[in-house]
Copies of this chain bind each other. A is one copy, B any other.
């Protein structure tokens, strides 16, 4: 059953009316017709409406609500990914995969060894594209929310932003100690951490001063194992670990 995100304002009684660009996607791309079932997610309430399509024309898709579900497909911990800005195609990959793996927010961070520099003008265009990728991945992976890709931050801004999280994790390739890493991650579960910030270095890795800065701010410096992971693989690995530990 295909899933779509809707605004609360679309819901009137037992009907949900979808208008705007999603209509073309539903009727012309997916060729959804009267009688077919769809799953509509309203993010604010976290409710999922199981519906049958009543009318599907060029302007709108009208659905009749058959059932309402409140179970969430969301992880019980809110994860923000602070990703050292890599090359463009890699960052788009990171957004797609991080959304699939359950991240709630993705923040591109200009780090010392980031090769890419973004001008303000290019950033606006990129940000729209990045958020479209996040929305598409959220639909495909049947998330209960659309994660936001925030505007790029400097490293200091990112560390300040992450101070709002219950815990910060920074995987570092020069760090060792799986036992200690497992101990740290298990303790986050035991202490019922509600939010976690993850820092991932760009292609060239973290500068040692960046690792120190995060450690001063209370970040746990961890390992992701004995092999060297690329900058776009590391967020998938740590998000998988947190899923393994936190998923209910």
> Is the contact region of chain A dominated by helix, strand, or loop, or is it mixed?
loop
How many of chain A's residues have a CB under 8 angstroms from any CB in B? 30
Partner of A100, one of B100, B143, B233, B244: B233
CB distance from A182 to the nearest CB of B (A): 7
A196 to chain B, nearest CB (A): 15
Within the complex, the shortest CB–CB distance from A246 to chain B, in Å, comes to 9
30 contacts between A and B (CB under 8 A): A72-B226, A73-B226, A75-B226, A100-B229, A100-B230, A101-B227, A101-B233, A101-B237, A102-B225, A102-B227, A140-B228, A140-B230, A141-B227, A141-B229, A141-B230, A142-B227, A142-B228, A143-B227, A178-B247, A182-B244, A224-B243, A226-B247, A236-B240, A237-B240, A237-B243, A240-B240, A240-B244, A241-B241, A241-B244, A244-B244
Name the B residues within 8 Å of A141 (CB-CB): 227-230
Instruction: Kindly list 13 other residue pairs between chains A and B, CB separation below 8 angstroms, not including A141-B230, A225-B247.
Output: A73-B226, A97-B233, A100-B230, A100-B233, A101-B237, A141-B227, A142-B228, A178-B248, A233-B236, A236-B236, A236-B240, A240-B241, A240-B244
